[in-house]
Structure 1
Amino acid sequence: MLLKIAKIPRSTYYEIRNRQDKDIKNIDIINAIKDIAIKNNMLYGYRRITLELKNRGFNVNHKKVLRLMKKEGLLAITRKKRKYSSYKGTIGKVANNHIKRDFEVTGPNQKWFTDVTEFNLRGEKLYLSPILDAYGRYIVTYNISKSPNLNQIHDMLNKAFKDSENYKDLIFHSDQGWQYQHYSYQKILLKNGVIQSMSRKGNSIDNGLMEGFFGILKREMFYG
């Protein structure tokens, strides 16, 4: 009777009612999403929130979490920021490029890659300097510092070369950042029989493994 008076089709009525029923069922999930998002300063993406929801006992997939986060306005806001660059011109010796887009290896300690990237965590800038082995794409060692300085690079190298392995003919690739042009950095490589390699200015393809690692890491930390 009411449907006739209001001139509402029966199908529309049931569609609205079903939608309301779904919204009621989702209240607990939405509240949990809000709790996780707020506690993590809106840095978690929908994939990480999905994992956290499952840890809390919710049986939900990432597509539903993404839909609910969009509806509630809980998606992390990402802003394009100026990418950190360690390049300061030619201040030392620039090594030749020994990679030339050839990432093939037959074992560990044949080709290493390094770079420094910046993270902004809760208003504090941190700098990550890792070494990636082309064999297995694993991280050999790393250093996290509040400042991208030589101490960070020296600590990373000291940890990488601390054992008695033979590093002769290892190719160690980077960009032309000032740290890698510095005499003390190059001296440590020379001491260990390492061949230094550098990308050409403005061409990051030869350091693509490192760039790819940073991309995955940041996506998982902030947006995934």
Structure 2
Amino acid sequence: MTLVERMQTKYTITAILSALLVPRSTYYRWRSEATDSSLTDVERTIIDICESTKYRYGHRKVRALLQRDYNIKRNRNTVQRIMQKYHLQCRIKPKKKWQSQGETIIIAPDRIKRDFQAAAPNQKWVTDITYIQYGRTVQYLSTIIDLYNNEIVAAKLYNHQQTPLVLDTLKEALEKRAHPKGVIIHSDQGSVYTSYAYQSYVMENNLVSSMSRRGNCWDNAVIESFHSNLKSEAFIYTRFNSLSNVETISRVNQYLKYYNEERIQEKLGYLPPIHFGGR
């Protein structure tokens, strides 16, 4: 017990007891026995309640049990003070918060504002991730489209949707387009796009980050439409998880090639992307 008290200035009671492999109930029984003469009946009862409930309750519930089971009435501040004195606080469940997978969250303004037209190549790129659920396992497709001619500049299909997926997609796009400067790269506010790693890479390559408003798919409608078309056209009448992963990847790659080289678009004067204008 002396060791615990000495280490208390640096560590919590729970951490110390866990390291020493000593149950909390055992520690408090030792402590109670060592100071039993100084414990009041209320303090001893509160310690018993906390031990029997495995320290799951806060002071309000302990106060209610004190009154219900022992007919002892005390205000909640008194109960709280006693529980704090003997380190009997319940284990608080941490609140879940939305956060990025990177080291920090960087949110860019919406610089596209639903203007999905571009006067020349490499002015505006849009990007997003979609689920491909037709193989034995779920795959994740990351795509970048040039709004000048709706060409798929780069696409990566991985078995995860972590930051490397979007980084590798952007690296491929930059290599294919000979590292253009000043391109607006527009995404949603997903954790991979707001991550420090992704945003740093955008700035290091002289790109301009832009983001949709949260929960508003229309702010990135072009790429949302493309992903919808891919699923409805490449996987028509296909049930989820009905194909092999190899067949799924093959269909995606075939559709990407077809979309760029053959699929005509009204916006492009009924031409496919690569036959519209120069790059």
* TM-score scaled by length of structure 2: 0.47
Which amino acid is the alignment partner of residue 216 of structure 2?
N
Partner of 1:119: 132
SS in 2 for 1:135: coil
**For 2:211, which of 198, 202, 208 is the aligned residue?**
198
Match of 2:111 in 1: 98
Q: Secondary structure at the match of 1:160?
A: helix
**Quick one: distance in 2 between partners of 1:164 and 1:202?**
31
Correspondence 1:51-200 to 2 at 5 A: 88-89=98-99, 92-162=105-175, 165=178, 167-200=180-213
Runs of 4 or more, structure 1, over 3 Å off, are 88-91, 163-166
CA–CA distance in structure 2, aligned partners of residues 209 and 202 of structure 1: 16
Letter in 1 for 2:138: K
| Residue of structure 2 aligned with 1:214, choices 222, 227, 237 | 227
Deviates more, 1:195-204 or 1:115-124: 115-124
AA aligned to 1:185 is Y
How well do the aligned residues superpose, as a CA RMSD in angstroms? Answer: 1.9
Match of 1:9 in 2: none
Q: Can you give the 5+ residue segments of structure 2 that lack an aligned partner in the other structure?
A: 1-97, 238-279
Q: Which deviates more, 148-157 or 135-144?
A: 148-157
Three-state SS of the structure 2 residue aligned to 1:92 is: coil
Counterpart of 2:138 in 1: which secondary structure? strand
CA contact (8 A) 2:153 2:176 kept: no
CA distance in 1, matches of 2:177, 2:113: 29
TM-score, with normalisation over the residues of structure 1? 0.57
Higher relative contact order (CA 8 A, sep 6+): 1
Deviation by residue 1:145-185 (Cα, 9 ceiling, x = unmatched): 01111221221122122267353221110000000011111
The one-letter amino acid paired with 1:180 is: Y
* Higher radius of gyration, 1 or 2: 2
What amino acid is aligned across from residue 118 of structure 1 in structure 2?
Y
Displacement, 1:93? Answer: 1.0
CA deviations over 1:173-224 (Å, ceiling 9, x no partner): 0000000011111111111211100001111112000000001100002227
**Count of aligned pairs:** 138
Aligned-pair identity in percent equals 37
Following the alignment from structure 2 to structure 1, what is the Cα–Cα distance between the partners of residues 176 and 125?
A: 16
| Unaligned 5+ runs, structure 1 | 1-87
